Amino acid sequence: MAQRQNKRLGIYVHVPFCRHKCSYCDFYSYCPRDTRVYTAYVDALLSHMKSYKTVGADYMPDTVYIGGGTPTVLPPEELLRLIRGIKSSFRLSKNVEFSMECNPATAGYEELRRYRRAGVNRLSIGLQSVNAIELSALGRIHSARDFGVCFREARRAGFDNINVDLMFGIPYQTLDSWAATLKFAVSRSPEHISLYDLKLEPGTPLCDNASAYVFPDEDAEYAMYTFAIEFLERAGYRQYEISNFARQGKECRHNLKYWHCEEYLGFGPSAHSYFTDVRFSFKPSVSNYIKCIGGRTKDEMTDEYEEIPMRERLGEYIMLRMRLTEGIDSREFMRTFGKDFGMTYGSKLKKYIDGGYIVGSGGSYRFTPAGMFVSNYILSDILEFDADGHFAM
């Protein structure tokens, strides 16, 4: 009998429900009027996962991430059914990192304790800011105090690996108010801190009414970013990615899979996957997802579908690897693509190295903090894209 393999895999499960839509958010999530959809949705997710029983037999997932939306908006019984279903559908590794996102206003001690006991061992809590005016501009439904209570209850419930999400570039935010948010977050001693630069996404209320708000300008945002890097390093959080900082050994293993171009399977509307050399995603519609899973017409729920072996992911590899503070290692690049990174991109890299945006030494290339702040611009200059947005080799 053929021996089963134990290939590594990340599992992502999207829960596209929120109690209230934040003013800046363009993720696929909504506030359902009919809460019966929760049960039907969890049924669909579990049925979808079961369909991977054969093809997934050679995999031993070592990371799981339930994200959203707000997973903790699901009634506890449904969320527990989902957690248990994930565990029974896949042969999870013994040291699995099992993360779940949580909004401070949506989970108390009892629920958190049950999720922890069911197998979730890493929590990601969205704080964004401690300033009430900034939270209000973002349309968040919680206060800094709610966050403090949620964090304390999560610790009491047994979570010893917690991430806190913060945001800069918020209307009315100043360097002082940003420093207050960072100090508040660090005073709780989370294991991991993520910080995001607020982007105005077309179609969101914040973008549509942008003229009604006062935003920090680009210089102020740059000052906030570099302040955060220095502040967090001093507090014992090592930056390992443009937006992510962790205590020693607490880097998010699931997100590292994306940046290392490893395999992952996504479940739910708008979820993306890279599995067996195929990249695919599902249409952003809960009703379509439930209908397609129930009716076994999975083709109709697929959005993008592209067969793309690793050696053809060169542009994506560069974009993702350069997000990491370790950057690109020329030897690994040569092994993977049969090209010399420095020789191939040398002339374009030079001006950014000379300008202090990229450091090239010891066979590796990585962004400085100044380079990270404008990384999208630099990467689109270094890499060439055709008219359809595809990378041109």
Binding site for ligand SF4 (CB under 6 A): 18, 21-22, 25, 27, 29, 68-70, 103
Q: Least CB distance from residue 193 to ligand SF4, whole Å?
A: 17
Residue with tokens 């959809």: 37
- Going 82 to 84 to 88 to 92, the CA torsion angle's sign is positive
Residue with tokens 């929590």: 123
Q: Counting Cβ atoms within 10 Å, is residue 4 exposed (0-12), middle (13-18) or buried (19+)?
A: exposed
Nearer of residues 29 and 330 to ligand SF4, judged by Cβ: 29
Nearer of residues 73 and 349 to ligand SF4, judged by Cβ: 73
Q: Least CB distance from residue 392 to ligand SF4, whole Å?
A: 34
Cα–Cα distance, 83 to 46 (Å, whole number):
10
Nearer of residues 45 and 135 to ligand SF4, judged by Cβ: 135
**Omega prior to 139 cis, within 30 of 0:** no
Nearer of residues 27 and 345 to ligand SF4, judged by Cβ: 27
Cα–Cα distance, 186 to 174 (Å, whole number):
18
Q: Least CB distance from residue 17 to ligand SF4, whole Å?
A: 8
Strand ranges of the sheet holding 328-329, from the earlier edge strand across to the other edge = 328-329, 364-367, 358-361
Decide: 269 and 238 in contact? Cβ < 8 Å. Answer: no
Nearer of residues 33 and 335 to ligand SF4, judged by Cβ: 33
Cα–Cα distance, 151 to 107 (Å, whole number):
10
- Going 330 to 333 to 337 to 341, the CA torsion angle's sign is negative
Cα–Cα distance, 74 to 119 (Å, whole number):
17
Nearer of residues 282 and 333 to ligand SF4, judged by Cβ: 282
Q: Least CB distance from residue 61 to ligand SF4, whole Å?
A: 24
Cα–Cα distance, 61 to 94 (Å, whole number):
9
Cα–Cα distance, 28 to 297 (Å, whole number):
22
Nearer of residues 65 and 357 to ligand SF4, judged by Cβ: 65
Q: Least CB distance from residue 270 to ligand SF4, whole Å?
A: 11
